[in-house]
Amino acid sequence: MRLATWNVNSLRTRIGRVEAFLDRHDIDVLALQETKAREEQLPLMGLQARGYEIAAHGLNQWNGVALISRVGLEDVTAGFPDQPGFGEAAEVEARALGATCGGVRVWSLYVPNGRKPADPHYVYKLDWLARLRSAATKWLDVPTALVGDWNICPTDDDVFDVTQFKNSTHVTPAERAAFQAFLDGGWTEVTRPHAPGYTYWDYYRQRFERDRGLKIDFVLGSAPFAERVTGAFIDREERDPSVFDGAPSDHAPVVVDLAD
């Protein structure tokens, strides 16, 4: 099985690139984040014509997650148990979608950004991660992958210049501790040994061209999942504005190969 995750930064805008990506890399399961649309707004006919099933969870033009699979799509679940909401109404946002694909439980996750360490969104981010970790402890015994945009740089090597982020989110001790808690709890980040380098480059000041990026897109696997991983890579070409027609997402896809 070949599994990929990609913060696509609007599926409607980049549906052609998604279809081409699936074809080019022979992807079996693709988890998307920031689809930015409700399911009925998404242009899915091209994916369906290729033999893919699609599950999408989107409430408005913000956030949104999806799973695209040609190896089955069962037990679709929007949101994880006890997922917190944000704001005065504590609305539960479209940030988590799970399904079983070819015997693997895949969760497409778009972790809250946090905005600034003093912002209520930062508190929400840490709460969201803590509750996800609590829910995920029940998934460790079966092949499970927690994939997506984690909005955390777990180490200094995951940011082009950590000094520029000293007053920012993504690198704070609390966020890094929240990520490490998953690893300490039995999850394995399976891409790092195979796929060095960044996964996100801001559009600002030719960050991609100067390789001033962040590594924030990860695949965390349970032991039954991690033991099947044979390789992984970051498709940097999908972020390169000089390679394909049309504006790229600010994230590159991350691809993981599993043995049968």
Residue numbers belonging to the annotated binding site = 7, 34, 149, 151, 250-251
CB-hemisphere CA count at 13 Å for 203?
A: 6
In the set 149, 158, 217, 235, the catalytic residue is 149
Catalytic residue list contains 121 = no
203/154 Cα distance (integer angstroms): 22
235 in catalytic set: no
| Beta strands at 65-69 and 217-221: parallel, antiparallel or unpaired | unpaired
Kindly name the residue from 52, 57, 110, 200 that is annotated as catalytic: 110
User: Which residues fall in the annotated binding site for Mg(2+)?
Assistant: 7, 34, 149, 151, 250-251
Report the alpha-carbon distance of residue 255 to residue 145 in Å, rounded: 12
141 counts as catalytic = no
> What does R_g of the chain's alpha carbons equal in angstroms?
17
Active-site positions read 110, 149, 251
